[in-house]
Structure 1
């Protein structure tokens, strides 16, 4: 059994089924990237894994324990941390307050304030600044740092580069290398395919709430990924049938 095991997960938004029977496993220290067009179900899947959105069917297991019915704050204490799309910081609180608040998870580990600031040195001079006054890159660094302060076993990063300048994206990804080198288990949603291929061990491509293609980065071509991204693999199969 994988360290994180997702088994036939369904999730809905009202009558809309956003995630359909999704199953996959993630090993400790693995970096898995999720790609797909807007509306493919990636964000809903991540929120469901983290407990911010209810699953309507299926099972989520972390290190063998079933966490499907646990609320999100309890899953954080179990070792699952989500950096949500749009960051969702407490904008009227300072960077320091946003980071320290995450210690309430009560998990011990290598990630404390000093370790986070070593990883994101651009935050050292911004600790007293309100989160709402930060640049996009600084907000993303704060959001990732806040998640790390919970000392997660699995870190879910949703849309790492969304809305950031190229320079800010580069700084964030430079910082992520420290997490990778530390052996952090990471699931990441990223629209920038070049960035995705540069860090991931495995790619999972979603379309209409389902996994349509997955495989090791070293074994998949860019063309295969793009065909799955746009649903062309289905057209090809139908034409060859």
Structure 2
């Protein structure tokens, strides 16, 4: 595929844009990555995502696809013969993968973003507990996926739909630990997931896609200050 045929509009800290790039890299597809400034959105972003005006957006020729999980499924189906499949072939297993990906975005992400937004120690402690509870649930999911197989990923021998959905959040999880002092990635509580993290981060292209944790933490502190200031004037 020619360089100009495929573009990704993203933001360095966006786990949702990061997961799109992960799948494109795994498929070996050539694409152009365009960093957005969400405080000064480009005409390209406004043209291709006029409804939500946010990243990520995948531009394929004259087509645009929005929302990260939708984009992942489009890539997997459109380039089904290239690279390992992202979703299982079995309809039931495919439905289960979609269910847990939605759980990650709707339950887990909401909980750990709540840590950043919390204005009191009580609220922060509640969100930390919720996040750890969600991680323990994902530990059980991974345990079932890998039971007796020795496979390193939710998707088997290669990263699949659940892997990229969860793995794209790793930089933010580590950044939130630095910002809040919370211990989310704890080997004593989620030993299997911590082994999964080692396998996931050992993939070569992850080093070029996952952002620097210190940079994300700095961005997170600025975002937190903005959120707290907005809450204080309500």
- TM-score of the two chains, using structure 1 as the length reference: 0.30
Q: Which of the two has greater helix per residue?
A: 2
Taking structure 2 as the reference length, what is the TM-score of the superposition?
0.31
